[in-house]
Amino acid sequence: MIPFSILDLSPIAEGSDAATSFQRSLDLAQHGERWGYNRFWLAEHHGMPGIASAATAVLIGHVAAGTSRIRVGAGGIMLPNHSPLVIAEQFGTLEALHPGRIDLGLGRAPGSDHTTARALRRNLASDADEFPQDVVELMDYFAGSTRRPVQAVPGAGLDVPVWILGSSLFGAQLAAHLGLPYAFASHFAPQMMMQAIDMYRSNFRPSEQLDKPYIMLGFNVFAADTDEEAHFLATSMQQAFVNLRTGRPTKLKPPVSGYLEALDLPERMMLDSVLSCSAIGSRVTVAHQLRAFIEKTKPDELMITSQIYDHAARLRAYEITADIQRAG
């Protein structure tokens, strides 16, 4: 079977705090390394009470220092929030500390609301419109290009694989044009997944980094020893999405029996849409759903995310998923 990787938001559970989330992220990465996962990525979000991975590069360093083989990276850095030179220096530093293990995924969304985005960059211009130019500038810093008046130190000359992240056709077009690997956010925005896959593969141009298309798809897994337990565990993520979409973001809440049945029809329909790329159930059920998704989309890699309230149950979900991947 294709490689599986882990996407972590370092969730802050209700009744817990960020420090505990960081300990659990490292513990998950260490288990993931032993179970054979290919990468461990962390995502940049800001102003979210249930997500602790805002200082993404710092947390990547924490995880990389506590592991030895698994690739560690950003899935992703929201480039409009930052100077490309600063990101080149940060990830150049990470690569110098952990050679051959650092990935840099780049997105053009702010990873926050507009007010928070303005506080981050303090620039009222539409920085997202400059995303393609910022990506090229960042890659130039890693290459040590003479087109730039300054050098990234550290950064210049280091091999930090750059990925484009996206949930629309824009990212697919850019990744194909630049010859970069592409990660699609199907785990929460699956609506344009098949069109994006086709556009990326059809328009891909080989580059120094990559000679043929490479696509990774996000996929939610809620695995447990029984189907009933898995559906119960999944209600924490379902609550998080409903609360976020209704303007009430919270810490990750404990699972609730009968949660879906208590929702209004519009909320049920929203969850059916945003979480359509998910597997929920026992090992047998999840294995069937994973294989069906892979057969349909034919990705080169899956990025598994599992937002489960209880840490031990979350580890168990990733362990079951790793067992399925090894079984082929």
* CA–CA dist 70, 30 (Å, integer): 9
pLDDT at 115: 74
Q: Record the tokens describing residue 328, joined without a space.
A: 């082929």
Summarised one tens digit per residue, pLDDT across range 34-43 is 999 999 999 9
Mean pLDDT of the chain: 94
- The residue among 195, 256, 321 whose CA lies nearest residue 184 is 195
Predicted pLDDT at 66:
98
Whether the per-residue pLDDT at 260 is higher than 90: the answer is: yes
Query: In angstroms, how far apart are the furthest CA atoms of the chain?
Result: 61
User: What separation in angstroms does the CA of 3 have from each of 37, 42, 126, 151, 177?
Assistant: 7, 18, 37, 35, 25
Q: d(Cα 224, Cα 315) in Å, to the nearest integer?
A: 10
What is the band of 124 on the pLDDT scale with cuts at 50, 70, 90? Answer: very low
In this predicted structure, what is the pLDDT of residue 113? 66
Q: Distance (Å, rounded) from C-alpha 229 to C-alpha 65? A: 34
Per-residue confidence (pLDDT) for residue 224, from 0 to 100: 98
3-state secondary structure of 246: coil
Q: What is the reported pLDDT for 111?
A: 52
Q: What is the pLDDT of residues 139-196, one digit of tens each?
A: 999 998 888 889 999 999 999 999 999 999 999 999 999 999 999 999 999 999 999 9
Element (H, E) at 105: strand 102-107
Q: Which residues pair with 220 in a beta bridge?
A: 278, 305
Query: How many other CB atoms are there within 10 angstroms of residue 25's CB atom?
Result: 23
Which of 51-65, 135-149, 306-320 is predicted with the least confidence, judged by mean pLDDT? 135-149
Which phi and psi angles does 165 have, rounded to 5°? -105, 150
| pLDDT exceeds cutoff 80 at 241 | yes
Per-residue pLDDT at 96 exceeds 60: yes
Quote the pLDDT of residue 178.
98
- The domain spans of the chain are 4-327
Fold of 4-327: TIM Barrel (3.20.20)
Which pLDDT score, from 0 to 100, does residue 119 have?
76
> What's the whole-model pTM score?
0.95
Report the pLDDT value the prediction gives residue 262, as an integer from 0 to 100. Answer: 94
Average pLDDT, integer, range 42-56: 94
Task: Identify the band that residue 123 occupies on the pLDDT scale cut at 50, 70 and 90.
Answer: low
Least confident of 92-101, 104-113, 237-246, 259-268: 104-113
